[in-house]
Amino acid sequence: MTTTSEPPLQLTAGEQLVRPSTSLGVFSRPTGETGWKSWLFTVDHKRIGIMYGAAALLFLVIGGIEALLLRLQLAVPGGNVLSEDAYNQVFTMHGVTMVFLVIMPMAAAFANYLLPLQIGARDVAFPRLNAFSLWCFLAGGIFLNTSWFLGGAPDGGWFGYAPNSGLVYSPSHGMDFYALGLQIAGIASLVSAINLITTVLNMRAPGMSLFRMPVLSWMLLVVQFLLLFAIPVITVALFLLSFDRLFGANFFNVEAGADPLLWQHLFWIFGHPEVYILILPAFGIMSEVIPVFSRKPIFGYPFMVFSGIAIGFMGWGVWAHHMFTSGIGPVSVAVFSLSTMFIAVPTGVKILNWLATMWGGRLRFNTAMLYSVGAVAMFTIGGLSGVTHAISPADTQQTDTYYIVAHFHYVIFGGSLMGMLSGFYFWWPKAFGYKLNEKLGKIGFWILLIGFNLTFGPMHILGLQGMSRRIHSYAADSGFNLWNMVASIGAFVIAAGVLLFFWNIGVSRRRARGSPPVGPDPWDARGLEWMTASPVPTHNFDRDITVTRQDEFWHRKWRIGTDGKVTRIARAEDVAHDGSATGVHLPSPSYWPVVVALGLPLVAYGLIYNLWITGIGALVILGGLYGWVFEPPDDPEDHGHDDHHEADPSGEAGNGANGGGASGNGEGEPADGDGARQLAAAGTSGGPVAEAQP
């Protein structure tokens, strides 16, 4: 535990980003802006965001191949592509991968990249913790997937109901990997939630009050609160499961008097907020994209915000709708049935506000817009089937059938994933300086949309016809043949669509060389993230941005006359920063987040195989924490703070927030003390205005 009172590093033109110094007096600090090391040790929220996104896409391919295996197996009755055992592993890992290793990190990618930019900040509150979250998530994901090679993947379904997930009924190590792997990924989410909430609360640009934040920032904030409170619940559940399996505890031991429903309650108390964790970021993205391509502001901004918050709150009161048939008793069923239904209200408000945003607009159907509108359409279908589950008597027919599978793919794939694909197309130029090819994008969208409906549409029928989920095969005379075949064909159409998306990335990248740059604002957009160069320079913004209203950037480009006519008053290029600023404080790269994250899977392997490995892992973690705590967040040897005012015309706050320096908090995670990267200097109101108003 040490404190760092030295001011952080600052840059001058042409200077190396970071100057070498040493950590622990032994290792020199990582340096450099290029090369793999600059990515491995980076603490830049944008690079971290990009890596989150890349990892999520990689896992999408893995989870998608798993899905294709499922569909191959089910294409015809009595299929024999996979054995029973393999099938169980594949569908479990498909669910786990898609939920925890695809959609969540994809949301984290957008959150990391965009949150600081949208609120006009320079980085997140704790850049090193941020890097730690990334590596920790990746460690958890890789750890989980190594189970394939170590005697079998988890095979208890993604919600791992006890006692089937216990040692007696699931004797392979698979469920140990599940419990420990999700635990590691959970740490990543929790740390990241604390980090991002602090960022939003504390680092907004001057004048950026909460109710001037873009809807995406709002939704991400709500999601981080959901994570903050939901992760501990699954943490406990997973601990209980691990202790049962590894140390012989009795939490789910029915013989000892335990009740298996305990697991279900804990899992779904987490699990239902989790599904809103999956969807709200996509809702946020759609709320950014639709206005831009409708050329109208978002309709009913306060309602969009409040309905998001309402969904966040109500999401805590509905978990037992996953347990309507598990014997919780008629009163509980009735209560949770009603609470579930009413979640349709705030969600409906969102849908209708998007439609109202489009109403009277000048809609441009770029790929990003197509995906967003597609997501509205597809999510609605999933939401409506959700309401038909909520009426609990009907759910006793539907639960654990393909009707449910249809529901959640429509909301998760049709809502979350499509929303995020929209985000990829929308912010790609911002992150990489070139657009994704529109023609390929549109073709890809239509292929995906058709494939998606071919795959999951028939599942409604299958489910109502009585096809159970998680079955390895079905009899030829069950009447499921036709629609299963259709669904399997559809899955490969989806695969083609996804493949086209990857192809598009390659093609667009190649074409981008030699093409003119896209400029800061290729879509004539509204958020602050467009007010700086593309790709975003390391320091984000050249100067403070003082925000005086919602959609500040847009209003600097356009004037609404008294007659309501919109006229241009400036080009984006004139308003946006060109990224040429120098002398900006930036956090320095660090080894330690990677080191600490590396220790976690070691501990986990050790718990499964050999406690010595756990010991080594613990040492790695301790060593990493030690290095971390004694490493100043910014390079200490570089400069005095006196030059800082001259070099930083916007009067950046320096290390003011650094009062406490590094300190430990809770579970041995050190809190960074490097809080100085915000542009926000004075309070939001009354403070001097950096950019004068005429």
Partner 1 sequence: MTQTPSAPEALEEAAPDAAADHGDEHEHPSDRQYVKIALILGALTALEVFTYFESVHNLGDAAIYVVLIVLMILKFIYVVAWFMHLKFDSVLFRRVFVAGIVLALGVYLVMLTAFRIWGV
Partner 2 sequence: MTDVADPTPAVTTPTDAGHAPPAHPPTTTGLTHNKVAMWLFLGSECLLFGALIAVYMFAKSRLPAGEIGPNDVFDIPFTSVSSFVLLMSSLTMVLALSALNRGEERNFRIWIVATALLGGTFIAGQVYEFTVFVDLGLGYTTNIFGSAFFTLTGFHGAHVTIGIVMLMSALVASLRGRLSPRNAETVELIGLYWHFVDIVWILIFTIIYLFPQ
Partner 3 sequence: MMGEQAGGRFGPNLWRRLRLALVALAVALALTACADEHPLDTLTEAGPDAQEINDLFFPVLGVAIIVFFLVQGAIIYLAVRYRARRRAAAAAVHSDDPDGDDLYGDDEYPEQVHGNLRLELAWTIIPTILLAVISVFTLISLVDLNEVSAAEDDLRVTVVGQQWWWEFQYHLDGDTSTPPDIVTANELVMPVRQQVPLGITSRDVIHSFWIPRLNGKKDAVPGRTHPWVIEADEPGRYMGQCTEFCGLSHAYMRMYAVVLEPAEWDEWVQGQLVDAAPLEPGEPGYEGQEVFLANCANCHVVNGVSDVNLDDLPDGMGDYAGANAITSALVSGAAPNLTHVASRTTFAGSIFDLYEDRAERIPYLEVAERGDLNRGDLEAWIRNAPGQKANDADGARGMTAFPGLTDGEIDALVEYLMTLR
C-alpha distances out from residue 430 to 295, 415, 617, 640, Å: 19, 23, 39, 34
604 binds partner 2 (CB under 8 A): no
Peptide bond into 163 cis (omega under 30): yes
Options 56-64, 303-311, 403-411, 648-656: segment touching partner 1 (CB under 8 A): 303-311
Q: Which two tokens stand for residue 165?
A: 């997930």
List the structure tokens of 278: 């999956």
Q: Which of 60, 90, 119, 233 binds partner 1 (CB under 8 A)?
A: 233
Residue 15 DSSP class: -
Helix axes 261-294, 215-247, angle to 10 degrees: 160
The tokens for 454 are: 């071919």
341 versus 613: smaller Cβ distance to partner 3: 341
Distance CA 627, CA 572 (A): 44
Here's the x/- map for partner 3, 78-97, by CB under 8 A: it reads as -----xxx--x---------
First CA to last CA distance, the chain: 49
Contact at 8 Å (CB) between 504 and 436? yes
Q: Does 645 bind partner 2 (CB under 8 A)?
A: yes
Stretch in the footprint of partner 1 (CB under 8 A) among 141-149, 225-233, 353-361, 630-638: 225-233
Per CB under 6 A, does 321 bind ligand HEA? yes
Binding mask 332-371 for partner 1 (x = CB under 8 A): x------x--------------------------------
Please state, in angstroms and rounded to a whole number, the distance separating the CA atoms of residues 216 and 527. Answer: 10
Q: Which of these, 674, 664, 671, 668, lies nearest to 622 by C-alpha position?
A: 668
Report if residue 560 touches partner 2, rule: CB under 8 A.
yes
171 touching partner 2, by CB under 8 A:
no
Beta carbons within 10 angstroms of residue 439's beta carbon = 10
Gap between the Cα atoms of 311 and 314, Å rounded = 5
Instruction: Tell which positions 248-287 bind partner 1, by CB under 8 A.
Output: 259, 261-262, 265-266, 269
CA dihedral sign, ordered 393, 396, 399, 401 = negative
- Is residue 407 close enough to count as binding Cu ion by CB under 5 A? no
Binding status of residue 689 toward partner 2 by CB under 8 A: yes
From the number of C-beta atoms within 10 Å of its C-beta (0-12, 13-18, 19+), residue 331 rates as exposed
Residue 543 and residue 577: Cα distance in Å, rounded?
8
Instruction: Tell me if 409 contacts ligand HEA by CB under 6 A.
Output: yes
Task: List the one residue from 166, 281, 383, 670 that touches ligand HEA (CB under 6 A).
Answer: 383
| Angle, CA of 690, 691 and 693, to the nearest 5° | 125
- Rounded least distance, CB 574 to partner 2, Å: 5
| Interface positions, 97-156, toward ligand HEA (CB under 6 A) | 98-99, 102-103
Q: Does 326 bind partner 3 (CB under 8 A)?
A: yes
Q: How far is the CB of 428 from ligand HEA (least distance, A)?
A: 18
Among positions 35-94, residues that touch ligand HEA (CB under 6 A) are 60-61, 64-65, 67-68, 70-71, 91-92, 94
| Distance from the Cα of residue 683 to its chain's centroid | 30
Stretch that binds ligand HEA, among 258-266, 366-374, 488-496, 632-640 (CB under 6 A): 488-496
Of 86, 150, 262, 616, which one interacts with partner 2 (CB under 8 A)? Answer: 262
Tokens found for residue 570? 């400036």
655 binds partner 2 (CB under 8 A): yes
Contact 104, 189 (CB under 8 A): yes
Distance of closest approach, residue 251 Cβ to partner 2, in angstroms: 6
Distance, CA of 124 to CA of 117 (rounded, Å): 10
Residues paired with 27 in a beta bridge: 23
**Interactions with ligand HEA, residue window 599-658 (CB under 6 A):** none
Q: Which entry of Cu ion, partner 1, ligand HEA, none binds 415, CB below 5 to 8 A by partner kind?
A: ligand HEA
Q: Which of 75, 98, 197, 406 binds partner 2 (CB under 8 A)?
A: 197
Q: Decide if residue 272 touches Cu ion (CB under 5 A).
A: yes
If the CB atoms of residues 258 and 449 are measured against ligand HEA, the closer one turns out to be 449
299 binds partner 3 (CB under 8 A): yes
78 torsion bin: left (phi>0), alpha (psi -120 to 50), beta (else): left
Residue 468 CB, nearest approach to ligand HEA (Å): 8
Among residues 41, 42, 77, the alpha carbon closest in space to that of 481 is found at: 77
Draw the binding track, 14-53, toward partner 3 (x: CB under 8 A; -: no contact): ----------------------------------------
Q: Which stretch binds Cu ion (CB under 5 A): 53-61, 271-279, 302-310, 498-506?
A: 271-279
What 8-state DSSP symbol labels residue 568? E
| Overall size of the chain counted in residues | 694
CA 278 to chain centre: 8
In the complex, least distance from residue 400 CB atom to partner 1, rounded to whole angstroms: 20
Q: Does 384 bind partner 3 (CB under 8 A)?
A: yes
Q: By CB under 8 A, is residue 104 in contact with partner 2? A: no
Residue 222 interacts with which of Cu ion, partner 1, partner 2, none, CB < 5 to 8 Å by class: partner 1
Q: Give the nearer residue to Cu ion in terms of CB position, either 272 or 677.
A: 272
Q: Which does 216 bind (CB under 5 to 8 A by kind): partner 3, partner 1, ligand HEA, none?
A: none
**Residues pairing with 663 in the sheet:** 671
Which two structure tokens, joined as six digits, stand for 359?
Answer: 């109403």
**Which parts of 423-462 interact with ligand HEA (CB under 6 A)?**
455
Nearest partner of 292 among 357, 378, 197, judged by Cα: 357
For residue 214, what are the CA distances in angstroms to 106, 211, 290, 396? 19, 8, 13, 41
Told to check if 161 binds partner 1 by CB under 8 A, we report: no
Q: Cβ closer to ligand HEA: 273 or 606?
A: 273
> Alpha helices of 609-642 — where are they, by DSSP H?
611-630
Q: How many CA atoms lie less than 13 Å away from 165 in the CB half-sphere?
A: 29
Residue 99 touches which member of ligand HEA, partner 2, partner 3, none, C-beta under 5-8 Å by kind:
ligand HEA
Residue 378 binds to partner 1 (criterion: CB under 8 A): no
| Binding partner of 169, given partner 2, ligand HEA, partner 3, none, CB within 5-8 angstroms per partner class | partner 3
Q: How far is CA 207 from CA 114, 117, 358, 359, 683, in A?
A: 18, 15, 29, 30, 8
CB 108 within 8 A of CB 133: yes
Q: Which two tokens stand for residue 691?
A: 């950019």
CA separation for the pair 638, 242 (Å, rounded): 47
Q: Closest CB to Cu ion belongs to which residue? A: 272
Residues contributing to the site for Cu ion (CB under 5 A)? 272
Binding site for partner 1 (CB under 8 A): 201, 209-211, 222, 225, 229, 233, 259, 261-262, 265-266, 269, 305-306, 309, 312-314, 316-317, 319-320, 328-329, 332, 339, 683-686
Interacting residues toward ligand HEA by CB under 6 A: 60-61, 64-65, 67-68, 70-71, 91-92, 94-95, 98-99, 102-103, 157-159, 275, 278-279, 321-322, 324, 340, 343-344, 347-348, 351, 380, 383-384, 386-387, 389-390, 395, 398-399, 404-405, 407-409, 411-413, 415-417, 455, 469-470, 491, 494-495, 498-499, 502
